Amino acid sequence: MPQGKPAVVPKDGLTTRQRRNRPLLAVHTGEMKGKSTAAFGMALRAWNQGWSIGVFQFVKSAKWRVGEEAAFKALGKLHDDTGQGGPVEWHKMGEGWSWSRKQGSEEDHAANAQEGWAEIKRRLAAETHDFYVLDEFSYLLKWGWLEADDVVSALASRPGHQHVVITGRYAPPELIEAADLVAEMTKVKHPMDAGQKGQRGIEW
Amino acid sequence: MPQGKPAVVPKDGLTTRQRRNRPLLAVHTGEMKGKSTAAFGMALRAWNQGWSIGVFQFVKSAKWRVGEEAAFKALGKLHDDTGQGGPVEWHKMGEGWSWSRKQGSEEDHAANAQEGWAEIKRRLAAETHDFYVLDEFSYLLKWGWLEADDVVSALASRPGHQHVVITGRYAPPELIEAADLVAEMTKVKHPMDAGQKGQRGIEW
């Protein structure tokens, strides 16, 4: 996609530079895979800028995204060792949040999710990271574990210049409304429809 | 996305393992960004499997995807230095193909594109890589620089176990038909519509 001109220039009193540098809230939703994959692709660009990256995976299984996790941990280590790129923190609800002494379990899935969001709110307020991936976060709203108003208000009032990408199906209207960028991944054709099973290196 | 069961089990005489391990031809098309980003996200998983990755960028400007390029070159170097992950080759039409003595120029854009495809065909025949990203490749078909029949036939007859991801708008019907996986990225909302300009770390 070309680094093109905007369709309209808003009368918001901002300079081009100010407008260029506004922090982004992106939502990747829709039924097709590619939502998280594209978020991690964006995180590659953020890493290359030397930004601090915080990934928060709100998925049940600790086995998901192992390929992306390994690659980003390698990139984060490269930063720590050589200074190239940015630092990377990768947190997973599925194996219990690393900052928490509690072990994640099936029973307190909602409580674990709420604890994850509380930590993200603290980090946003403290401007801990430059680029956040909240992976499969939309389900927490869909399932009523978090209030959309609380989420949107914390995101809208985040200080500084923190980019946030939220992925997952069923993004609620309040989140779509609050987002600067919303992409919907749509299935045209998928190998599982033709009976193919998931495979190593492709699905995980 | 869960590593779920397929919707149907085809009567193709293949075992589950054979079916699981079939090489994938994926096409990411549609008007929205995320097509290439998601392809590079997939390549993270491929890297983590230790696969050889070949990226071929059919874009005019050598400045595109600099963030992804820097990150993947770092990952490729990590492989070369430590053995972690897989090797990475990254080739760009925009600055003249690295295997070619010719310099790319605006005038012979079609010839450069055809030279790139010829090299990819040679590599597919030689099973050079395990995972190919043909970035913005669909335009070559759209603009008539390559014949869809030639492309589809070379892809369909590729030997071994080589995965190929093709990105770009206007993927022609022949390519959609030949693909195992087709994802369409659709715009719901984009900051440029609201007058925001592209920004560092987000668009590149």
Report yes or no on B55 lying in a domain.
Answer: yes
Which domain CATH number covers A92? 3.40.50.300
Report yes or no on A26 lying in a domain.
Answer: no
Report yes or no on B127 lying in a domain.
Answer: yes
Task: For residue A40, give the chain B residue with the closest CA.
Answer: B41
Does residue A19 surpass a pLDDT of 60? no
Closest CA to B202 of A43, A75, A55: A43
ipTM of the complex: 0.77
pLDDT band at A2, cuts 50/70/90? very low
Residue B59 sits in which domain range? 41-164
The larger pLDDT score, comparing residue B64 to residue A48, is at A48
Is residue A132 classed as helix, strand or coil in its secondary structure? Answer: strand
For A147-182, the pLDDT digits (tens) are: 999 999 999 999 999 999 999 999 999 999 999 989
State mean pLDDT over A15-37. Answer: 79
With CB atoms and an 8 Å threshold, state whether B192 touches A75: no
Report yes or no on A30 lying in a domain.
Answer: no
Q: Worst-scoring range by mean pLDDT, A56-70, A71-85, B34-48, B117-131?
A: A56-70
Residue given tokens 């905007």 in the structure block: A6
Please state the domain count of chain B.
1
With CB atoms and an 8 Å threshold, state whether A44 touches B28: no
Does residue A202 surpass a pLDDT of 90? no
**pLDDT tens over chain B, length 204 residues:** 344 566 666 666 666 655 556 789 999 998 877 889 899 999 999 999 999 999 999 986 767 788 999 999 999 999 999 999 999 999 998 778 888 766 655 568 889 999 999 999 999 999 999 999 999 999 999 999 999 999 999 999 999 999 999 999 999 999 999 999 898 888 777 776 766 667 777 777
For A96-155, the pLDDT digits (tens) are: 888 876 665 556 888 999 999 999 999 999 999 999 999 999 999 999 999 999 999 999
Please tell me the predicted confidence (pLDDT) of residue B202.
72
Is residue B186 packed enough to be buried (19+ CB in 10 Å), middle (13-18) or exposed (0-12)? middle
With CB atoms and an 8 Å threshold, state whether B44 touches A72: yes
Please check whether residue B24 touches A, CB under 8 A. yes
With CB atoms and an 8 Å threshold, state whether B75 touches A71: yes
Please tell me the predicted confidence (pLDDT) of residue B1.
38
Please tell me the predicted confidence (pLDDT) of residue B95.
76
Report yes or no on A138 lying in a domain.
Answer: yes
Please tell me the predicted confidence (pLDDT) of residue B148.
95
Please check whether residue B88 touches A, CB under 8 A. no
With CB atoms and an 8 Å threshold, state whether A183 touches B34: yes
Inter-chain contacts counted by CB atoms under 8 A, chains A and B? 249
Task: Give the gap in angstroms from C-alpha B199 to the nearest C-alpha of chain A.
Answer: 6
How many CB atoms are located within 10 Å of the residue B194 CB? 16
Q: How far is CA B78 from the centre of its chain?
A: 22
With CB atoms and an 8 Å threshold, state whether B183 touches A182: no
Task: Give the gap in angstroms from C-alpha B200 to the nearest C-alpha of chain A.
Answer: 8
Does residue A1 surpass a pLDDT of 70? no
Give the type of residue at A123: R
The larger pLDDT score, comparing residue A91 to residue B201, is at A91
Q: Of the ranges A1-10, A57-66, B117-126, which is most confident? A: B117-126
Task: Give the gap in angstroms from C-alpha A26 to the nearest C-alpha of chain B.
Answer: 9
pLDDT band at A8, cuts 50/70/90? low
